[in-house]
A and B are shown apart, each in its own frame.
Chain A
Amino acid sequence: MAAPPGLPPPEKLLEKADEYLAELEKGPWPSHVSELKKTGYPVRVYGVGLVARKSPWGPSAVKAKRLTGVLARIARDWVPGGGEEVHFRVFHTPGRFLPTDYLRKIIQISREYGVGLIEAVGQTGAMVINVKSKDLGDKMIDTLREIGTDVGGSGDAIRELNACVGPALCEFALYDTLNWLVAFRKDKRVHDATAVPGYPYKFKIKLSGCPMDCARANRGDIGFIGVWKGAPEVDQELLRKKIENGEVDPEKLVANCPSGAISWDPAKKELKIDGARCKKSMHCIRAAFPAIKPGKEKRVAVVVGGGSKGRYGPKLGWFIGFLKPDEVDKAIDVTFKVIKPWDEEAQAKYRLGDYILMEGLYRFIEKAGISLEDTPKYVEKLPDNVPYRVLPEEERKKFAEFAEKVKQLVRV
């Protein structure tokens, strides 16, 4: 980017940059500038960017062993003093648990080869470590591999996988997200697609244990969300005890249910939940756990096509079917079934969701060959329905057959 017009001379610019940076160190919220100043990061370049109201960084390249996960920037020519910024996306541990011995190793690596700055969690879900200079990249990768992690996940590849904490620290998890994550990582196809960029655009895989969706699975290109079928399980005995203790208000449970599926019988002191109407909002479960638990028939909902980038802007995922909590192999197969038509047909820089918008969800399901439990057959939510269209003959035939069937039923 060109220098913004009306930029003050270099000395003035740096002075003003220092002023802005000092301003950002004040206040009760933890300051990123104070943290940056403790490290070798070129913080004045950032300050100059703030003054100029333009990003001070331009694209650069770095020679390293890795095809993905390595990114470099160089300061634009209007930034006095210049500077460079090289950073690596490092895979996080399952559930993002960092034992202190492991964390200290990361800190040591960051000090030895890097500027001592760590982005604890980047927006892709990976940990981002800044490197001191371009030549130290390979050495750092080797050291990272020694402690059992690696660099990867940028460009048009499968990005760092994201799973919620799951059964490790949450009572609501409906399937084992961490072991699913590990199973995905161990799969050769996922591994290859993360190492080598080759898709039309990035591809994100996300795993959430329950409908509260902490891993933001609805926003991934493919997301797996733990749900159950039917009504939540109610332990009437325990619930009565909770109500007596004043922990749960049955009236509130009924009022807060967004689908109106709950009814309370004050005479019998019994709570009834209509499974057919339950929207799986987790309201009652969160209020009265463990007296109300998710239903026994656990499933993993598969959603595809979410994301915030792409040709058609931000989108949420489409539901394409259920898996069982132990079918992780099938989940990996589904992932690659979903990828196949998109990889073959989509234009460059089309996210999966954009491709589905172009194709239509049903044609996409057909093309990908997906047949899971409850794969949708009807359109639930249509963008403005256009009533006229040229139909191919076989489709017209289908509707004619349907009319014949109805004719026999209704007997006109």
Chain B
Amino acid sequence: MSIELKYPTEVERFLPEIIKRNYGKWKERKFHGSGIIEHISETGERVFTIKVALPPNARVSADTLEKFADIADKYGVGALRITVAGNVEFITDSLEKAQKIKEEVEKMGFPVGGWRGAMWGINTCTAFLTCQIGVVDAPSIGKALGDALKPYFTGEIPLPAKLRIFISGCPSGCAGGTATDIAIVGMWGAPPKIREEVLPLCMPPPKALAKIPESQIFLVQVCPTGALTLRRQDGQIKLVLVGEKCINCGRCKDNCDAFDYDPKDVGVAILVGGRMSNSGGGPRLARNLIPWLPANPPRYEEIVAVVKQVVEVWRQNAKPGERLADFIDRIGWAKFLDLVGVPRPIAEYMWMPDIARTYLTYRARGEYIFKGFRDAI
């Protein structure tokens, strides 16, 4: 058995001919409605790219992909491109063919759009499709949100600037962290319960446990606030969870299956105003708008309503070209909360350093954060 990996390393092999000829020679771009972009090269050649939304979590069946391949062969240059945000891009060399591709994929039920002032796609983590630690199901939230926000993607309702939405099933933030315009993050809502029957699998055997200092126990190390501690009583050593110290970060659950939550406490936090690109004030993490909302499958009306409200506030009040983060900066956080109609701002984190703020705001349960920890930072 060898561990040699075989990477696809030949750039040339995977590039379509037309791209190969114009590699690094692009000089201009034009937009043809929403979802079709034209790149013009120094050599005079033109390439049209059509952006198509995929289902949440970019899950496609082999049948659908084969149909895509057929379309790419028939009208395109025989290649597709997958984007990081979970969209698929068709590449072709004339506008007529581009329109044809648009027609074909729309017939299959895949909307075309997502450039310039529009929603660029919804990124979701796998959650209940694969993940064993997911708290809420991100793909179904993505589907419900997509149904409601489709006009913003296809350009029927233009937005001031780019809008990205990430949905993560738990605070691990696998869908792309919080550096995005609107991030929806699954929350445990209450401290985890320990399933004693599974715990021994994650702990050293009792004899070793008695000898190892507490700071060397993996689960104790992993907890960032010291909520997990060892108690020694009558010769018995027990892992104890101090509920007041827990900030719902889910790191214990990440590393051991013995931690469990109650579905009735589960909800999502909604964060706004993050950004990755350097346009304007530079990259930044998002801020907590609403620390907890119920997540009710399969349509998630509460989440959809709040997200739509935020998008509408931004759309109606922002200057053209202003991203959500810049808009919030211009009008101020308090004014933004007023516009959205959030009942009470979560103000206690405002004076904190950036890193700590995001960490605490989106991981803490409402205002019941462990005080000592908060003050220590």
For residue A5, CB closer than 8 A to chain B, the reply is: yes
For residue B81, CB closer than 8 A to chain A, the reply is: yes
> Which residue of A is nearest B110, CB measured?
A30
Report the bound CA distance from A280 to B282 in whole Å: 9
Report the bound CA distance from A94 to B23 in whole Å: 13
Report the bound CA distance from A120 to B87 in whole Å: 9
For residue B34, CB closer than 8 A to chain A, the reply is: no
Contact status of A312 and B355, CB under 8 A, knowing A59-B257, A96-B83, A169-B19 = yes
Among the 9-residue stretches A313-321, A333-341, A392-400, the one with 4 or more Cβ atoms under 8 Å from chain B is: A313-321
Among the 9-residue stretches B206-214, B216-224, B238-246, the one with 4 or more Cβ atoms under 8 Å from chain A is: B216-224
> Which B residues lie within 8 Å of A71 (CB)?
130
For residue B278, CB closer than 8 A to chain A, the reply is: yes
> Which A residues lie within 8 Å of B61 (CB)?
35-36, 38-39, 116-118
> Which residue of B is nearest A354, CB measured?
B224
Is A92 touching B82 in the complex (CB atoms < 8 A)? yes
> Which B residues lie within 8 Å of A308 (CB)?
172-174, 176-178
Chain B interface residue count, Cβ-Cβ cutoff 8 angstroms: 127
Report the bound CA distance from A176 to B23 in whole Å: 10
Is A279 touching B282 in the complex (CB atoms < 8 A)? yes
> Which A residues lie within 8 Å of B360 (CB)?
313
For residue B347, CB closer than 8 A to chain A, the reply is: no
For residue A1, CB closer than 8 A to chain B, the reply is: yes
Is B224 touching A312 in the complex (CB atoms < 8 A)? yes
| Mask of B47-69 contacts with A, CB within 8 angstroms, 1/0 | 10100011111111111111011
Is B57 touching A119 in the complex (CB atoms < 8 A)? yes
Interface residues of A in 60-113 (CB under 8 A from B): 65-67, 71, 73, 85, 87, 91-104, 106-107, 110-111
Shortest CB distance A262–B (Å): 14
Is B279 touching A283 in the complex (CB atoms < 8 A)? yes
Report the bound CA distance from A58 to B259 in whole Å: 12
For residue B155, CB closer than 8 A to chain A, the reply is: no
Is B63 touching A123 in the complex (CB atoms < 8 A)? no
> Which A residues lie within 8 Å of B59 (CB)?
32, 35-36, 117-120
Pick 15 A–B contacts, CB within 8 A, sort by A: A2-B260, A27-B146, A53-B295, A96-B81, A98-B81, A120-B88, A123-B176, A168-B23, A170-B26, A176-B24, A178-B11, A258-B280, A282-B279, A312-B356, A313-B358
B positions within 8 Å CB-CB of A: 1, 3-11, 13-16, 19, 23-24, 26-29, 39, 47, 49, 53-66, 68-69, 72-73, 78-84, 86, 88, 91, 109-111, 123, 125-137, 139-140, 142-144, 146-147, 150, 171-179, 195, 218, 221-222, 224, 249, 251, 254-255, 257, 260-263, 266, 276-285, 295, 297-299, 321, 352-356, 358-360, 362-363, 377
